[in-house]
A = this chain, B = another copy of it.
Amino acid sequence: MTSVVTRSETPPIGPVVGMVGAGQLARMTQQAAIALGVELRVLANSPDESAARVIVDIRFGDYRDLAVLREFAAGCAAITFDHEHVPTGHVEALAAEGLAVRPGAAALVHAQDKAVMRERLTAIGAPCPAWARVSSAGDLEDFGKEHGWPVVLKAVRGGYDGRGVWVCSSVDEVEEVLAGDTELMAEAFVPFERELAVLVARSPHGQGVSYPVVETVQRDGICVEVIAPAPGLDPEQAAQAQHIALKIANELGVTGLLAVEMFQLADGKVMVNELAMRPHNSGHWTIEGSRTSQFEQHLRAVLDLPLGSPAPVAPVVVMVNVLGGEDPDIFSRYEHVMAHDPGVKIHFYGKEVRPGRKIGHVTALGTDLEEVRARARHAAAHLATGEYV
């Protein structure tokens, strides 16, 4: 008879990388880990999480508990993250005990605390919107008077995918937020033409590489589409954006990936919006679209291996996210998508389908932007809802 056994007794044959968090980023990192023979260990909350379904060496526990992190990290060649929520102090504590935590606390705090990030970026000369910490209606009123309305009110810590961000035209609109105990900051609203993102990697040895600048499209604060490279971007502006991202990675001492989300203004200039220090939605196109996927790159960087080529493999790559619709049976819709377009690549994250939830993405490659984008949009829309757009 067959038997189900745990394999916890089997000694690893490759270096163990511990990733805190078991979402789709950890899941896709596993694909790269399999190729390199790296043993990916993940700290998860529950066995039905995206990465928990595909990773053998999984531990369950609370990442806010230092004892859990310490036990999780034992035996790992490097510790890294699929989200930014591990307390900075815990990251410091692990490093103090000699563990290779990548990125380290001194870098990671800039992806955890938007006020610290703004202070630092301003200090190193990276272009940012006007901003200020606010702790009262009066602070916000003053900021609005000085920089004009609308104002972007943000939680200093903890926001993601549009959560923790309020675009307001007056103090009244955010009364409740201001009355709460969330640490807040205000930013001038940037009348951007479009959003760009630059993904770079930096290794502990100090090697750095930048992927091509991409255009990102957000809807309700969630990334829904990425075009690589950003269409019509002036080569000098592209080089400048990459320079800014690499400079931030270097100045902050990032190890691993750094995604720099940017606004592009009407005059072509860019401003830094957000930072993330992990594989990023704006880099999913690299799985098929670049010589080195962002997931392989992150593993190489955190293991201090030489970085891989970020060269694109096609003139145009478009990634479109799949958000859950009303009908959860996504698999019944593979048939149409695959028959319609034998070249489109489907990624489903193994998550329970709920309306609006990010459950996967599709990638199309080619030479003509309109055609490639239409293919990717068609596939994503059909997977989500069964519609033929």
Contact = CB atoms under 8 A, between A and B. Distances in A.
A61 interface: yes
A47 B7 contact: yes
Interface in A337-387: 338-339, 342-343, 345-352, 360, 365
Interface residues of A, number: 70
A1 B59 CA distance: 9
A53 B31 contact: no
B37 A348 contact: yes
Contacts of A352: 13
Interface stretch (A141-149, A150-158, A160-168, A303-311): A303-311
Given A10-B48, A61-B2, A342-B292, A30 B35 contact: no
Contacts of A350: 13-14, 34, 37, 39
Contacts of A309: 342-343
B56 A360 contact: no
Contacts of A348: 14, 35-37
B35 A347 contact: yes
Interface stretch (A65-73, A127-135, A187-195, A237-245): A65-73
B4 A300 contact: no
A48 to B, nearest CB: 5
A89 to B, nearest CB: 19
Contact of A313 (B58, B59, B313, B351): B313
B54 A349 contact: no
Interface of A: 1-10, 13-15, 27-28, 30-31, 33-37, 39, 43, 47-48, 52-56, 58-61, 67-68, 71-72, 287-288, 291-292, 300, 305-309, 311, 313-314, 330-331, 334-335, 338-339, 342-343, 345-352, 360, 365
24 contacts: A1-B61, A1-B67, A1-B68, A2-B61, A3-B59, A3-B60, A4-B6, A7-B47, A13-B48, A15-B331, A31-B31, A31-B35, A35-B347, A36-B348, A37-B331, A37-B349, A39-B53, A39-B350, A55-B56, A288-B291, A306-B338, A307-B338, A308-B343, A313-B314
Q: Which 4 A-B pairs have the closest CB atoms?
A: A37-B348, A2-B59, A306-B339, A306-B338
